[in-house]
Amino acid sequence: MSDFVNNFWAMYVTIAFVVSVIACAVLLWVSGTTKVSPAADNTTGHVWDVDLREMNNPLPKWWVYLFIITVVFAFVYAALYPTLGTYKGALGWSSSGQHAAEVEKVEKAIAPIYAAFTQREVPDLVGDPKAMAIGERLFMNNCAQCHGSDARGSKGFPNLTDGDWLAGGDPAAIKDVITNGRVGVMPPMAAAVGTPEDVANLAQYVLSLSGSPHDAVKATLGKDKFASCAACHGADGKGNFALGAPNLTDNVWLHGWGADAIIKIVNEGMTNAMPAQNRLLNSDQIHVLSAYVWGMSNKPAGAAQ
């Protein structure tokens, strides 16, 4: 109910509830006190399908008592819990409060498990089979939906096993991205590059940076146009961790390989978002998960597979 932006819906819910319960109580009272003069055969005189006659028998007492209990329960529940619009209830219960309490309970239960890992450095944890088993579960539950169960990603979702990093591959950078998330933005650059022919030439030059098959003549023509890209990707095209600008020389293509894919991104731009995980995971869990992610491309000799 805290999502109401004005009092109308709060009043609507309150009135609808009160009127509905009172109407049930009135119906019960009327049905119990209204007298109907039956016919000699104890029927009301109503007949359906030729021979189906409505009897004038009273309601069973168990049904009446159950109805009364239901009405009373409705008012008691409304007084104790947040039922009437913005009223929070005498017990002060809320779904968010219950969720927070359950999360706190779980974190207290798992704290001893993570206590053995919190003071150890990420590279050290990579060699710990127990830490990696926990990290794998955390990864499967929170990361595999985008990066895949094997962490090799797919188009638009980075491969975490190849050592190619957009925002840095050291443990601190990985932990920061997992904790706070990251938004990568490539603005549309066609207007800055020039004509469609210039964009096509630029795409050939970008392909040449990684040694990919390309048209050498067009690449030469597009080299000067790369100045519009160098501010983020660097004059040598090797990217910038601080900006999250990809390395264009390593032949790793997050959004698709080839001239058509490059032209599309130059013309339309691209936005990728990695959601922050600090609302789902606590700092100890993120520490172990960071070790697992870092270890997939930095596994030391003798580490558990």
Kindly list the domain boundaries of the chain, sorted by start residue: 7-80, 106-181+275-295, 190-268
Give yes or no for residue 240 having a pLDDT over 50.
yes
Please give the backbone phi and psi of residue 107, each rounded to the nearest 5 degrees, phi first: -65, -35
102-120: burial string, b at 16+ Cβ within 10 Å, e else:
eeeeeeeeeeeebeebeee
Give me the pLDDT at residue 305, please. Answer: 45
**The two domains 106-181+275-295 and 190-268 share their CATH topology (first three levels equal):** yes
The values of phi and psi at residue 140, to 5°, are -65, -35
Element (H, E) at 52: strand 52-55
Write the pLDDT tens digit of every residue in 137-195.
999 999 999 999 999 999 999 999 998 999 999 999 999 999 999 999 999 999 999 99
pLDDT for position 35: 72
Question: The domain 106-181+275-295 belongs to what CATH superfamily?
Answer: Cytochrome c-like domain (1.10.760.10)
Give pLDDT, residue 303: 47
Secondary-structure breakdown of the chain: helix, strand, coil percentages, each rounded to the nearest 5: 50, 10, 40
| Of the options 3.40.30.10, 3.30.590.10, 3.30.70.270, 1.10.760.10, the CATH number for the domain spanning 190-268 | 1.10.760.10
